[in-house]
Amino acid sequence: MNSLNDVWTKRFTHYVNELQKYMRFIFTGHIAIVLVFIVGAGGYYYSEWLKTVDTSFPAELLVALLVGVMLMMSKPVTLLREPDQVYLLPLEAHMPQFFKSALRYTFLSKVALSIVPYVVTIPMLKATTDLTTQQMWLIVLAIVVLKWCNVQGEFVYRYANRGANVWLDYVVRFVISALSMYHFLTQDVVFGVLFMAIAFVYVTSLAKNMKGKPVPYEHFVKVEQDRMMSFYRFANYFTDVPHLRGSVRRRAYLNFMYKLAPFQQKNTHVYLVLRTFIRTDDHFYLWLRLTAISAVAAAFVDLWWAATIIAGVLSFATAYQMKIALLTINSFTMDQLFPVPEQMREAAVRKVIYVFMAVQALLVLLCAIFINPYFYALGIIVFVVAFITERMTKRPTEM
């Protein structure tokens, strides 16, 4: 390869092919239909709400905070790999050439994610502010400029500080971006431009601190690995990802849950399955996400039939995926060392599923009664659907 541009080109081609390989499983015809229904329902509620929204609604503040968050999220896409920590050391003087291509792609791939939420809120801004159409589209240009500053800012901060206390950088860039957006939305152009200039100064000062420092290969490799693992975990919900590596956390605040498995031989599998579920990020966050979505739907969807369908579908998805995940064993587990029947594992999985689905049902019930006292049935539906799903779902080896 003649230069690091060739390295970037080959890495980028492989990266795009990797995305396409899994995207075709994610965006299938079924998902497209679901997205159409979600967008349609969301658009309907949004348009109905706009008919009754008051001009005193703080739309400028809400949009500034929303866009500020999207601008702040500007993690660099470097495509660096673990061997680069050794093999690219002799080329360190030429790495700016590589990072220039990386930051260009990062900006182009993320700028739309900041513009789209703003465009969605334009009808709300028209209903609650006196911004002209020309002013609204000029703000899009400001978002593009601020996004460039955020992409450059996060990169140079991580480079200069090797990622230490990166949350400080997030706070600073969020405040600057949100204040700039707020002043543009309130037609205070002078202060909007002033905060934009502060963003430039912030990036410039960090770039000066970056000069002369070695490339933090370890940090950027870790960032890239975490980014790809997030994508693979998401893709794993739709298809099998062979090289997916799970992560574990202790979650000491849930230690009280282990009381469900008293210290007895017959509870060996219950303890191990419970410990596996609580400490494995993929399993625990799956339950947490679906429970949160179900609870939010129960709290805000005031149509009983829609709330019932959502609660039932999410209960089915939670119970089904929990059982498949907890019964699938791809490697050695400690329970293979204990003199207890293997069939006890399925009973232990059943017990853990019932416990956590009961918690999901309770949370849905508590959120539902704020909408309608008669929605208490949602909690019953969640648990009944989970019970039937668990009973009807076969072991992975039998499927």
Domain residue spans of the chain: 4-233, 252-398
Helix, strand, coil abundance in the chain, percent, nearest 5: 80, 0, 20
pLDDT at 390: 83
pLDDT at 280: 82
Percent of the chain with pLDDT over 70: 89
Strand-pair partners of 311 = none
Instruction: Please say whether the beta carbons of 273 and 345 come within 8 A.
Output: yes
Tally of CB atoms within 10 A around 130: 9
DSSP 338: S
Q: Which of 84, 86, 93 is nearest to 214 (CA)?
A: 93
Task: Give the side-chain half-sphere CA count within 13 A for 325.
Answer: 24
Residues of the chain with pLDDT under 50: 1, 398-399
pLDDT at 295: 85
Torsion of CA 325, 311, 23, 37, to 10 degrees: 170
* 321 φ, ψ (degrees, to nearest 5): -70, -35
Instruction: Please say whether the beta carbons of 117 and 70 come within 8 A.
Output: yes
pLDDT at 168: 94
Helices vs strands, H then E, count in the chain: 15, 0
What is the distance between the alpha carbons of residues 62 and 66, in angstroms, rounded to a whole number?
6
pLDDT at 42: 77
pLDDT at 398: 43
What is the reported pTM? 0.72
Strand-pair partners of 248 = 280
What is the distance between the alpha carbons of residues 281 and 277, in angstroms, rounded to a whole number?
8
